[in-house]
Structure formats: C-alpha cells, structure tokens
Amino acid sequence: MKKLNLLTCFLSVYFYEIEQKLNGTRNELDLITFQSKTENTDKFLKHYFKNYLSIHNSIKETKIEKLELQIDTQNYQINTKELFNYQILNVFLPEELTSSQKQEITKSKNSIYINPDLYLEISDGKTLFYEPLDIKSIRNDTISDASLQKISPFEWVIFIKKNAHSVSVATGFYLTSFIKKVYSADYIFYPQVSYKNLVKSNRIYRIQNNATLFVENKRKTEVDKIELLVNWQEYLATQWLKIIQIQLTKKNTEQINWINTLKTIPKKFLEYIDNLSEEEKIKIQQKIQKIIN
C-alpha cells in the first residue's frame, strides 16, 4: 500500500476518534461563543482545535484494531498498529506557516497554495505530510458562502453544530457534506454544504463493528458533485446546455432557480443577432471565439 493510502487510513481512523471523543466526553466547545453572525469565521474555534488536535495527535490509544477501507472498487484492510507511527507534529494556522512550508505544500499538492483554517503537519517517522483542515461552525444545517469556492472535494472538515442546549461534531470529507446545488448571491454561485448530509452519510458509510472500522468512499458515483465543487462555472454551463438539448418542460426548469437567471443571457443574445446580417453574424461569432480563447 502506498504512503498516500496509509495517510488516508490514518486520518480516517483519527478523525473518527476525534468525533467520538468530542461527542462522547465533556469538553469546552459549549463554552465558546460564536464570534460572528456569519458563522464559520470563528477564530476562537480555530484556536481551540489547534490546541486540541496538538494534544490528541495520534491513534495509539484507539480500541479499533482493524480498518477496512473501500474506495470505489478497491478494498484495503490494515491493522491499526501499522498506523501508530503516524503522528501530528504541529497544527498551524495559515499565518504561522513559513514561506518554505507553503512551497512544500504547493509542491506536494500539485496546486496553488490556499488558506484553509488549519494545516496539520504529520510524520510517519520518515516523511512529513501537510494536510489542510477546515473548521465550520453552524447554527442551522447548511452553509453557502465565498469560503467554499476553493475547497477540495477530499479535504477534511470538522463541523461544529451549536444550539442553546448542546454542541455536536461531525468529521469527514467536504464531498460527503456537499449538497448538489448552488446558492446565488450578488451574481456569484456558491456550493452548499450540509451538516445533516455529513452525519447521515457517516451513519451509512462509516461504521464501527466491534474492533473494526468500515469506511466506504464512492468517488465514481459522486462525479457530478466533484465537477460542481472543482469547476462550478463549467457545471452550470453544462446543465444549461442539457436543458436546451432535452427540452425540459417549463415546470421542471423553474425548479432550478439559477436557471431562471441564466435564461436572460441567451434571450438577449438571440434578440440581438436576430436583426443582424449574415456577415455581421460571422463577425460576432469571431468575436465570441476570441473571448473564449
């Protein structure tokens, strides 16, 4: 098994244990007041988890003896003792990272550097790994805002749901919490994530049976969700084209709110080119090609 898979195995057990600890024992989460009405911007929660994860930094005390991980058609079984050499050395806020650490993260992820809420510096005894982690506080069920535009489907997230009487925690991949729809504000489309969606999925696809933890990731069946998270502009354009191709009824299209907004663009365009000569239409087509390219 490759190290990347071993790291995934470690984190699968680790975040499961963190969730169980926080939901099953007394902690200070209920004493933390949400900093803002916007939710998920609470710096106090980030500092709390920075300290909490630094203390609870391994799975050496777990009672889980075996992990069975299924990723699409690939099945992995591993004794958790083989993961005991993995340990979280540091938990960084993004502003605490050095330039060299940011470069190393960019190199290892093969992407541009982005600012999650926390970065976990993990060692297997030989190699250092940097894993982004987001902390999302929530009062109701869903979040839709600009902070979700650059998330990765397989980035880890901790949801903290707080009401007047209790605090509950859920952990998992962003993909697991994602609802396949977008929220529009100021002509910008945001993905929407749901605490309940993550909890429900965990109950189905992450199960502990005696000393074995079963985790199933159905990535191939979540293609639409991944496409929407990775490139929502392309996804919306594709959905609009499908509606034109299959000629959905007005009733069906009105159920998709953002489609109503997009209707105005082709309507105006068709009205504009309707009165153009063939030569002018060719020129417009050339202009559009230049814009696209």
- Please return the burial class of 193, using the count of CB atoms within 10 Å of its CB with bins 0-12, 13-18 and 19+: buried
- Please return the burial class of 179, using the count of CB atoms within 10 Å of its CB with bins 0-12, 13-18 and 19+: middle
101 close to 130: Cβ distance less than 8 angstroms: yes
pLDDT of the residue at 220? 60
Q: 85-138 pLDDT, tens per residue?
A: 999 999 999 888 888 888 877 776 655 446 788 999 999 999 999 999 988 888
pLDDT of the residue at 27? 81
Taking phi over 0 as left and psi of -120 to 50 as alpha, with beta for the rest, 278 belongs to alpha
Q: Return the number of other C-beta atoms located less than 10 Å from residue 124's C-beta.
A: 15
Of the listed ranges 10-19, 24-33, 85-94, 110-119, the one predicted with least confidence: 110-119
Enter the tokens of residue 126.
């030989």
Q: 202-211 pLDDT, tens per residue?
A: 999 999 999 9
Which amino acid is residue 205, in one-letter code?
Y
Distance (Å, whole) CA 11 – CA 24: 19
| Mean predicted confidence (pLDDT) in 219-224 | 64
Nearest to 211 by CA among 80, 74, 75: 80
Distance (Å, whole) CA 85 – CA 16: 18
Q: Return the number of other C-beta atoms located less than 10 Å from residue 246's C-beta.
A: 8
Rounded-to-10 torsion of CA 69, 71, 75, 76: -40
pLDDT of the residue at 44? 84
Q: Could you tell me the residue ranges of all domains in the chain?
A: 3-229, 233-292
Residue 119's beta-bridge partner residues?
A: 92, 132
